[in-house]
């Protein structure tokens, strides 16, 4: 398109515009919405704008002032969206138990024309703790979901402290998620590396066949594959039938509804993501390096460790990263094949998103997952950049 | 011949029904530089691969220092191999590449450092020890590969067209360098090439390969001056081949009657019987264009073409002189196309080959 610089530029933009539009509408916008849900907290501020103004100068250690109470009463009278008031109440109740009854009593009282002052409606309005809960919830942004996602919270004075043990299990589930991801990555590596070497060492139809065998699962629906494993792994399934049939064990092995089953099924599903990057690196390694190592006196094992393995590390790194990043987001397989103790963070996110409509928590957990993934990716980027400088 | 180092004992290598090395016998002495020369597919590289242990003979045996090595894995054979594309390890520095064979042999750290330094010095790359192979030029990579193959003092050094990827000047320099190393270190070198001038420059002996067999083996001088087959005469250098029959013997050599009735005298080794069909090979640079009164081996002809080629003038004569190709010193007078000339050569300068 030389000579028509401006025009060519425009048509290039026009060509990629659908893509950008698609990404913006179906990826960036929902992602942004979810992430802002995780830090936004306007449920209280929306209903109590006057209170917010008056309470800005209040010292939380002192009793609430009369102006604050008047402003709150005015705000509550002005509120006509019952749904929004409900949201606010739930928000305040989670910070300070007792708000639910307090709010319903107060709003009922305020509906009368000659409503008494707040202190007379309920004496709890003289308790600074309830006002601390309100002022604490007035900020339009919050880190409480993010903190809660990693089992932290703020105490009354605003310091970040660990949640009580029984309050939340997010951190345990997060660690479990990474642990399962690591196990699956290791299993994929242990199976995938030799397999990639096997593919790379063959040619013609054999190579096509071996590649097809690893690609086939990739073309099958995840749900179908998981369901197949469900059938194979159960107590009277294929594997246990063989084991008991051969008399290796009289009892069927526990392969389903536990960690073993989850790792087996996830390894199978994710294996292509490990094999393909390693394979593509292996076939790019010049064929005469291993013969050269042998001629220089390296036995096959040492030649592998000193030459082939270091040269294929880039493929191992990208394969492991792909498998791990995909594994920590897994939902269907642990849900179908795992037991209660094998649920991963995605199922917790799903619970908050669809079960309890707590979009803030769902978004916060999603952010944590995203940050971990990006960190890993950054590490990988640094490593591969270092390697590129060498070549 | 001095002490025997390598013996190929009736070695055959077949891939399916195709035999690329066919019942081949070859002895190589300790300290000898032998080139395996031939067109691609003639089996020379396969022979080298069998010697290195990358391939197994289908039939026959290979002996090194008197011991059969056919079941010895490559890494125990103690042979330095220089590959066509150098095969340097891209993830190791130049120094680490050269240290590799020593590490594999469990040589101590201090000694490795010293021997690597010496090897680098030998190929004049001491300054580049910390570089990565990818940062080196082709010629430098070649020298690293050479140092790596020599540093552990192998019994034999095998080279598989190691200079093929270099440009002409560098290639010629490397030929002389390798030749000098061979002389200095007393290395036994088996060198595969398809470049006949490379083989002539470097070798003690050349084995000319054709279709899995050795057509002829001998010193560069023997191969060039006294080829034994049409293939060798054609493959090594440019030559004029004339068909004829043996007419008899004269004091100067063998009398050969050419197909057009003319006769010439040529040197020959074997016993030829009159009437036998033979070829006469005359090298282009041995033919002169000055008539000698009453001399033998003279052909009057016209110049068909004349091409200036820098260090010589390439002249093609017409059919009266059998389309001779002649290389003349470029200072010689110009022979324009159409000029009448007489081509002449000594009986010593032409050679009879059995056809």
In 10 A of CB B8, how many CB atoms? 22
Task: Name the domain boundary from A136, A162, A179.
Answer: A136
Q: Say which DSSP state A296 is in.
A: T
* One domain, residues A342 and A211: yes
Q: What's the confidence (pLDDT) of residue A391? A: 58
Q: What's the confidence (pLDDT) of residue B68? A: 93
Q: Say which DSSP state A353 is in.
A: I
Query: Is residue A159, in this structure, part of any structural domain at all?
Result: no
Q: What's the confidence (pLDDT) of residue A1? A: 42
Here the CATH number for the domain that contains residue A340 is: 1.10.3720.10
Interchain CB distance below 8 Å, B104 and A295:
no
Query: Is residue A312, in this structure, part of any structural domain at all?
Result: yes
**Chain B closest-CA separation from residue A391 CA (Å):** 6
From CA B53, how far away is CA B75, in angstroms rounded?
Answer: 8
Interchain CB distance below 8 Å, B87 and A298:
no
- CA–CA distance from B262 to each of B190, B281, B321, B326 (Å)? 44, 16, 10, 19
Q: What's the confidence (pLDDT) of residue B189? A: 95
Query: Is residue A157, in this structure, part of any structural domain at all?
Result: no
Burial of A375 (0-12, 13-18, 19+ CB in 10 A): exposed
* One domain, residues A277 and A332: yes
Asked which of B6-20, B104-118, B165-179 is least confident by mean pLDDT, the reply is B165-179
A65 neighbors A58 (Cβ within 8 angstroms): yes
A115 neighbors A73 (Cβ within 8 angstroms): yes
In 10 A of CB B162, how many CB atoms? 26
pLDDT at A264 over 60: yes
* One domain, residues A249 and A360: yes
From CA A276, how far away is CA A280, in angstroms rounded?
Answer: 6
**Chain B closest-CA separation from residue A294 CA (Å):** 5
**Chain B closest-CA separation from residue A385 CA (Å):** 14
B77 lies within 8 A of chain A by CB: yes
* One domain, residues A306 and A205: yes
Nearest Cβ partner of A391 from B77, B90, B149? B90
Looking at the structure of chain A, the number of domains it has is 2
* B contacts of A291 (beta carbons < 8 Å): 52, 54, 74, 81, 83, 87
State mean pLDDT over B106-130: 93
Pair of tokens at residue B7:
């013996």
pLDDT in tens, A67-105: 888 888 888 888 888 888 888 888 888 888 888 888 888
- pTM, 2 dp: 0.77
Angle between helical axes of A309-327 and A359-390 (0-180°, round to 10): 170
Q: What's the confidence (pLDDT) of residue B311? A: 81
Average pLDDT of chain A is 86
* One domain, residues A275 and A371: yes
First to last CA, chain A: 33
Interchain CB distance below 8 Å, B90 and A311:
yes
CA-based nearest residue in chain A for residue B105? A297
ipTM of the complex: 0.83
State mean pLDDT over B176-190: 91
* One domain, residues A276 and A127: no
**Chain B closest-CA separation from residue A311 CA (Å):** 7
pLDDT at B339 over 60: yes
State mean pLDDT over A114-127: 83
pLDDT in tens, A156-209: 677 888 887 776 678 888 889 999 999 999 999 999 999 999 999 998 999 999
From CA B74, how far away is CA A237, in angstroms rounded?
Answer: 48
Interchain CB distance below 8 Å, A288 and B90:
no
Query: Is residue A87, in this structure, part of any structural domain at all?
Result: yes
State mean pLDDT over B183-203: 91
* One domain, residues A283 and A362: yes
* One domain, residues A200 and A119: no
Query: Is residue A356, in this structure, part of any structural domain at all?
Result: yes
* One domain, residues A253 and A355: yes
Task: Name the domain boundary from A83, A118, A136.
Answer: A136
Angle between helical axes of B138-150 and B109-122 (0-180°, round to 10): 130
* Domain architecture of chain B: domains with CATH: 4-226 (3.40.50.300), 238-354 (2.40.50.100)
* One domain, residues A251 and A198: yes
B54 lies within 8 A of chain A by CB: yes
Query: Is residue A219, in this structure, part of any structural domain at all?
Result: yes
Interchain CB distance below 8 Å, B91 and A297:
no
* One domain, residues A250 and A323: yes
* One domain, residues A123 and A187: no
pLDDT at B208 over 90: yes
* A contacts of B90 (beta carbons < 8 Å): 311, 391
From CA B4, how far away is CA A157, in angstroms rounded?
Answer: 92
CA-based nearest residue in chain A for residue B147? A296
Task: Name the domain boundary from A114, A136, A158.
Answer: A136
User: Which residues span the domain enclosing A269?
Assistant: 171-390
B294 — pLDDT class (breaks 50, 70, 90)? low
Distant-in-sequence, close-in-space partners of A184: CB < 8 Å, separation ≥ 6: A263, A266, A267, A270, A323, A324, A327
* A contacts of B87 (beta carbons < 8 Å): 286, 288-289, 291-292
Q: The tokens 């199922």 sit on which residue?
A: A347
Interchain CB distance below 8 Å, A291 and B83:
yes
From CA B66, how far away is CA A348, in angstroms rounded?
Answer: 74
pLDDT at A390 over 70: no
What's the per-residue H, E or C state across A60-82?
Answer: CCCCCCHHHHHHHHHHHHHCCCH
Query: Is residue A21, in this structure, part of any structural domain at all?
Result: no
A145 neighbors A40 (Cβ within 8 angstroms): no
* A contacts of B141 (beta carbons < 8 Å): none
pLDDT at A383 over 80: no
From CA B287, how far away is CA B264, in angstroms rounded?
Answer: 13
- CA–CA distance from B325 to each of B319, B328, B351 (Å)? 11, 10, 16
From CA B132, how far away is CA B203, in angstroms rounded?
Answer: 32
pLDDT at A143 over 60: yes
At A372, is the secondary structure helix, strand, or coil?
A: helix
Q: What's the confidence (pLDDT) of residue B332? A: 62
pLDDT in tens, A284-332: 999 899 999 999 999 999 999 999 999 998 899 999 999 999 999 888 8
Q: pLDDT exceeding 70 applies to what percent of chain B?
A: 97
Burial of B67 (0-12, 13-18, 19+ CB in 10 A): exposed
CA-based nearest residue in chain B for residue A299? B75
Average pLDDT of chain B is 89
Query: Is residue A30, in this structure, part of any structural domain at all?
Result: no
């Amino acid at each position: 398109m030389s000579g028509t610089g401006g025009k060519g530029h425009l048509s290039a933009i026009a060509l990629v515009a659908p893509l950008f539009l698609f990404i913006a509408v179906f990826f960036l916008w929902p992602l942004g919405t979810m992430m802002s849900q995780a830090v936004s907290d306007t449920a209280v501020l929306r209903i109590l704008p006057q209170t917010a103004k008056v309470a800005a100068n209040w010292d939380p250690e002192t009793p609430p002032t009369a102006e604050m109470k008047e402003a709150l009463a005015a705000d509550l009278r002005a509120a006509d969206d019952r749904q929004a008031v409900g949201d606010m109440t739930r928000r305040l109740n989670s910070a300070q138990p007792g708000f639910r009854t307090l709010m319903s009593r107060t709003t009922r009282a305020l509906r009368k024309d000659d409503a008494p002052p707040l202190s007379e409606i309920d004496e709890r309005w003289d308790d600074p703790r309830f006002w601390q809960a309100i002022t604490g919830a007035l900020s339009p942004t919050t880190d409480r979901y993010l903190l809660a996602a990693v089992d932290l919270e703020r105490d009354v004075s605003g310091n970040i402290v660990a949640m009580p043990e029984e309050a939340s299990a997010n951190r345990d589930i997060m660690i479990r998620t990474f642990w399962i991801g690591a196990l699956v990555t290791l299993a994929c590596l242990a199976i995938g590396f030799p397999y990639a070497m096997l593919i790379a060492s063959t040619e013609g139809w054999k190579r096509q066949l071996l590649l097809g065998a690893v690609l086939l699962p990739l073309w099958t629906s995840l749900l179908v594959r998981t369901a197949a494993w469900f059938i194979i792994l159960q107590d009277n399934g294929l594997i246990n039938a063989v084991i008991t049939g051969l008399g290796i064990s009289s009892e069927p092995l526990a392969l389903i509804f536990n960690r073993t089953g989850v790792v087996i099924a996830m390894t199978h599903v994710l294996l292509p993501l490990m094999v393909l990057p390693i394979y593509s690196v292996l076939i790019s390694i010049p064929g005469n390096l291993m013969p050269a190592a042998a001629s220089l006196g390296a036995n096959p094992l040492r030649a592998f460790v000193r030459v082939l393995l270091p040269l294929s590390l880039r493929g191992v790194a990208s394969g492991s990263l792909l498998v791990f990043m995909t594994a920590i987001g897994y939902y269907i397989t642990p849900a179908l094949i795992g037991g209660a103790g094998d649920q991963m963070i995605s199922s917790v996110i799903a619970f908050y998103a669809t079960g309890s409509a707590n979009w803030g928590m769902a978004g916060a957990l999603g952010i944590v997952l995203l940050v971990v993934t990006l960190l890993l990716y950054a590490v990988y980027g640094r490593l591969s950049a270092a390697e590129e400088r060498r070549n | 011949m001095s002490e025997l180092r390598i013996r190929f004992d009736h070695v055959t290598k077949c891939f399916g029904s195709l035999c690329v090395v066919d019942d081949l016998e070859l002895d190589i002495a300790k300290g000898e530089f032998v080139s395996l020369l031939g067109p691609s597919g003639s089996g020379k590289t396969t022979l080298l691969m069998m010697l290195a242990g990358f391939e197994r003979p289908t039939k026959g045996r290979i002996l090194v220092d008197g011991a059969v090595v056919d079941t010895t894995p490559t890494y125990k054979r103690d042979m330095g191999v220089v590959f066509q594309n150098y095969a340097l390890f891209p993830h190791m520095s130049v120094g680490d590449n050269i240290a590799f064979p020593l590490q594999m042999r469990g040589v101590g750290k201090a000694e490795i450092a010293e021997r690597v330094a010496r090897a680098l010095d030998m190929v004049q790359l001491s300054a580049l020890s910390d570089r990565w192979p990818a940062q080196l030029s082709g010629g430098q990579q070649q020298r690293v590969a050479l140092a790596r193959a020599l540093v552990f003092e192998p019994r034999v050094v095998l080279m598989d067209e190691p200079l093929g990827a270099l440009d002409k000047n560098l290639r010629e320099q490397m030929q002389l360098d390798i030749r000098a190393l061979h002389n200095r270190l007393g290395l036994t070198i088996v060198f595969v090439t398809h470049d006949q001038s490379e083989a002539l420059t470097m070798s003690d002996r050349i084995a000319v390969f054709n279709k899995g067999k050795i057509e002829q083996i001998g010193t560069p001088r023997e191969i060039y001056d006294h080829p034994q087959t049409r293939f060798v005469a054609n493959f090594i250098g440019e030559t004029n081949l004339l068909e004829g029959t043996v007419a008899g013997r004269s004091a100067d050599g063998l009398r050969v009657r050419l197909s057009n009735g003319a006769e010439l005298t040529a040197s020959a080794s074997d016993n030829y019987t009159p009437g036998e069909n033979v070829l006469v090979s005359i090298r282009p640079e041995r033919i002169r264009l000055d008539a000698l009164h009453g001399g033998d081996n003279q052909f009057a002809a016209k110049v068909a073409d004349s091409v200036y080629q820098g260090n010589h003038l390439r002249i093609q004569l017409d059919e009266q002189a059998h389309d001779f190709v002649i290389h003349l010193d470029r200072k010689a007078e110009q022979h324009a196309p159409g000029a009448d000339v007489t081509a002449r050569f000594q009986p010593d300068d032409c050679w009879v080959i059995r056809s």
